[in-house]
């Protein structure tokens, strides 16, 4: 793979373009180049959301990004403080806000200024006062220690070039008793060098996927307990929709990832 700064810049530029175009067409990194609203709706439903979710978030916040629905496993409750790693246009943040209610609070963090601008515009139009979006890197979260009840993320940690730092900083900001509820792409086999060295595949949430055994080890080293890593039932369908006939499902899968801070 190219050096870290080159890869990080490529990823940031890729998602800036997605934010400006308003659509990713169902690929985690926007590589499908689809912008039809029905493509976005279909992609959103395929990864685990339902019609009610589409109604409960600003349409501009949903760009068909992701590989699952972390809200479905987060068990959010009224009053929770929620952090979304790589919040994009804010889709999951708005859904979380509906579950934590007026007594809860939702923070989205994204490294792409264009995504933050889009999400803040969506929040301003919504009129909610308990949701905010902060510019920052998920390896160095702009969040106070022990201030978060639940961390969610949708197909973003695989994009990090320093995943262990992500898990360690996530542990830092969680309260005792807090938890992770993530959806992400995880490697299930050794990735070919042709994929590893393809920046488009990095931005497309494939080449940066870490093996599930190493993900578990990183989480253990960070301090998490009750760790669960489970592939989604329709993982192959999700991945084949991104890159038909590329057989990426032979190497990676969409996983649900959970862990607790005791």
Is the distance from CB of 83 to CB of 109 less than 8 angstroms? yes
DSSP strands (E only) in the chain = 81-85, 105-110, 131-135, 148-154, 174-187, 225-231, 252-260
Which residues does residue 253 pair with via DSSP β-bridges, in sequence order? Answer: 186
pTM equals 0.93
Residue (of 70, 63, 44) closest to 184 by Cα position: 70
Q: For each of the domains in the chain, give its residue range(s) and CATH number, in order of start.
A: 4-260 (3.40.50.150)
Q: What is the pLDDT of residue 32?
A: 46
**CA 191, CA 204: separation in Å to the nearest integer?**
14
Is the distance from CB of 226 to CB of 259 less than 8 angstroms? yes
Give the pair of three-digit tokens for residue 23: 């659509």
Q: What is the pLDDT of residue 24?
A: 53
Identify the segments of the chain with pLDDT beneath 70.
1-2, 22-36
Q: What is the pLDDT of residue 20?
A: 82
- Contacts of residue 66, defined as CB under 8 A and 6 or more positions apart, other chains included, come to 28, 44, 47, 154, 155, 183
Percent helix / strand / coil, the chain, rounded to 5: 40, 20, 35
Q: What is the pLDDT of residue 114?
A: 94
**CA 66, CA 242: separation in Å to the nearest integer?**
11
Q: What is the pLDDT of residue 25?
A: 44
């Amino acid at each position: 793979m190219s050096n870290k700064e080159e890869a990080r810049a490529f990823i940031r530029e890729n998602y800036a373009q997605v934010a400006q175009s308003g659509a990713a067409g169902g690929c985690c990194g926007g590589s499908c180049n689809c912008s039809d609203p029905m493509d976005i709706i279909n992609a959103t439903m395929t990864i685990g959301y339902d019609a009610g979710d589409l109604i409960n978030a600003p349409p501009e916040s949903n760009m068909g990004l992701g590989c699952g629905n972390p809200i479905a496993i987060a068990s959010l409750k009224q009053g929770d403080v929620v952090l979304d790693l790589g919040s994009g246009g804010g889709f999951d943040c708005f859904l979380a806000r509906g579950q934590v209610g007026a007594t809860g609070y939702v923070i989205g963090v994204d490294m792409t200024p264009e995504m933050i601008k889009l999400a803040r515009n969506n929040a301003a139009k919504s009129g909610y006062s308990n949701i905010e979006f902060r510019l920052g890197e998920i390896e160095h979260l702009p969040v106070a220690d022990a201030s978060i009840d639940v961390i969610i993320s949708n197909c973003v940690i695989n994009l990090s070039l320093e995943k262990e730092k992500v898990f360690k900083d996530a542990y830092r900001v969680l309260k005792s008793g807090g938890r992770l509820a993530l959806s992400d792409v995880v490697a299930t086999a050794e990735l070919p060098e042709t994929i590893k060295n393809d920046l488009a595949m990095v931005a497309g949430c494939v080449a940066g996927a870490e093996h599930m055994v190493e993900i578990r080890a990183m989480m253990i080293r960070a301090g998490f307990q009750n760790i669960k890593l489970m592939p989604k039932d329709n993982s192959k369908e999700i991945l084949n929709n991104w890159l038909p006939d590329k057989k990426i499902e032979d190497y990676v899968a969409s996983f649900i990832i959970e862990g607790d801070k005791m």
